[in-house]
Amino acid sequence: MDENAIGTQVIGASIRVHEGLGPGLLESVYETALAYELEEAGLSVKRQVPVPIVYRRTGSQARHRPLRKPTA
């Protein structure tokens, strides 16, 4: 499968998630739903993978970490 075909599947899955869930939910909900849609389409999915970045000659590993509310 080429990049255009993969891109078409990703966009289609994203639209299905948006139509199914609507706006206003936490990012983690959309992430879970999108991973499900992509796996159902036969694509391999990895979530929250560290991404190497370089900013002004300093290298690091960037990784999204969901904000957690403190428990009271």
| 6 neighbors 43 (Cβ within 8 angstroms) | yes
pLDDT, one tens digit per residue, over 39-60 is: 999 999 999 887 777 778 776 6
For residue 43, give the 3-state DSSP assignment. Answer: coil
**Does the residue 13 lie in any domain?**
yes
Tokens 């300093």 appear where?
A: 58
**Does the residue 72 lie in any domain?**
no
**Does the residue 33 lie in any domain?**
yes
Domain around 38: 3-62
pLDDT, one tens digit per residue, over 16-32 is: 999 999 999 999 999 99
CA gap 2, 23 in Å, rounded? 31
Report residue 61 as tokens: 């590993």
Report residue 38 as tokens: 């992509």
Count structural domains, the chain: 1
Cross-strand partners of 61 = 52
